[in-house]
Chain A
């Protein structure tokens, strides 16, 4: 399961608009440095940034 999919399971109320570049409040990123996908930005007005434990 990808990071995006894990977040959508955790917060099913999120929409694709929340992840949209330029306008969304969440940005997921992968720099091909071996660390995989990560949350580069989380500015959702009501939902808390998921913890490592929640995403495990």
Chain B
């Protein structure tokens, strides 16, 4: 048995309650259970959970023009076009940074495509920066002599929902480096994986 609270649409409708001693509570709409809470406080949803855009920020940004950088110089990667930015938390015009306004753990990922306009590359990697300092590293291609490479990175990063921000830096050694401006290969994205 179950104690139920039903938003009924039967007859004149209204709130219909039934009670027993099971310790189980069912929340119903139109007589169908949507949420069940058992006696141990486990919650079961009958269907998926929809989270609003404001509650769970996500963005995808990319670079649409080649970015020339200096060899052996750690440089912030530019992402100047947004595919989406549900809560206006990504700055694609000035600082190219993600400053979520909801506290939580964000799954962040990036990729950027590189090529030298001349010479060859001997080392390339990308980094997550948090609050203006190195935080986590993506993959590091070191020692290989190549004419192009696409470092990537993925990391769960906690942000406090007010001041914390995340940026991407890249390092390329060799030749005259260029980070390609292409929607498909130079991008930065994040979504809220778990609220604080």
Contact = CB atoms under 8 A, between A and B. Distances in A.
Interface of A: 2-5, 16, 19-21, 27-33, 37, 40
Interface of B: 69-76, 78, 95-96, 122-123, 125, 171, 173
25 contacts: A2-B70, A2-B71, A2-B73, A3-B70, A4-B71, A4-B72, A5-B70, A16-B72, A16-B173, A21-B74, A21-B125, A27-B74, A28-B70, A28-B72, A28-B74, A29-B73, A29-B74, A30-B73, A30-B75, A30-B76, A31-B76, A32-B76, A32-B78, A37-B75, A40-B74
- Identify whether the interface residues of A are mostly helix, strand, loop, or mixed: mixed
B76 A21 contact: no
A37 B76 CA distance: 11
Task: For the complex of A and B, list the 5 residue pairs with the smallest distance between their C-beta atoms, beginning with the closest.
Answer: A2-B70, A28-B73, A30-B75, A19-B72, A32-B76
B73 A4 contact: yes
A6 B24 CA distance: 74
B96 A37 contact: no
Contacts of A4: 70-73
